[in-house]
Amino acid sequence: MPLPRMPLRNTLISCLLGLCSFIVNSAETTKTLTEAEIDHFMASIQGTWNGRAIETPVGPVGYDITFHSCSSNKIAGIAELKASNHHWQFWRSNNALHLSFLSTFRGNQNPIQLVASKAEENTLHFYAPKLDLLTVTVTPFDQHIDLRIFHHQQPHVYIRLKNSNQSIAGAILAKNKVLACKDL
């Protein structure tokens, strides 16, 4: 016996109610960052970090980075790896926190632009509006930072940065800041 046909009006109402329910449920799990939270995040990542990309497609890799204050609205760092450089720039605009990420692997010069979409406990979630297959989470702690990169919602890279107590020579630090802070 065939199913009874719902009138178009009832079908549209059902779809609209389902969409509203999805939006309400999404809003409950998404938290917009406050200016104070952005300020705290920007302050917490500044400094020199000894790091290791623990999980990568090519195996573990050293991942040392120094995050510099480029301006009151931008913190940037560059990890100089053997195969490429990774540029991380966190910046604020229009009451939102953004991340520009550039890997120069195979000569790439096109950064990926991400936006903080939510904060859960101590973790910030970033998504790429123009590249929906990529998401990044950043979890700063007192003595380390966890960076996780997901490709199609699957873990792709896991980086752990540990707070370094080392001082870096002024000339090296200045050169690193110039490279890290350049516009992507």
| Phi/psi of residue 53, nearest 5 degrees | -80, 100
Q: Which residues, including other chains, have CB under 8 Å from residue 109's CB and lie 6 or more apart?
A: 102
- Give the Cα separation of 89 and 130 in Å (integer): 17
10, two tokens: 């009832």
How many CA atoms lie less than 13 Å away from 47 in the CB half-sphere? 19
Amino acid 123: pLDDT = 94
Mean pLDDT of the chain: 82
* Averaged pLDDT for residues 142-157: 94
Kindly report, residue by residue over 47-89, the tens digit of the pLDDT.
Answer: 999 999 999 988 999 999 999 999 989 999 999 998 899 999 9
Task: Report which secondary-structure segment, H or E, holds 54.
Answer: strand 47-55
Q: Is 115 exposed, middle or buried (0-12, 13-18, 19+ CB in 10 A)?
A: middle
pTM for this prediction: 0.78
pLDDT at 31: 57
The count of C-alpha atoms lying within 13 angstroms of the C-alpha of 122, restricted to the half-sphere facing its C-beta, is 10
Residue 8 has pLDDT above 70, yes or no: no
Going by pLDDT thresholds of 50, 70 and 90, the confidence category of residue 168 is: low
Domain architecture of the chain: domains with CATH: 35-181 (2.40.128.20)
Is residue 82 within 8 Å of 73, Cβ to Cβ?
no
Band the pLDDT of 167: cuts 50, 70, 90: low
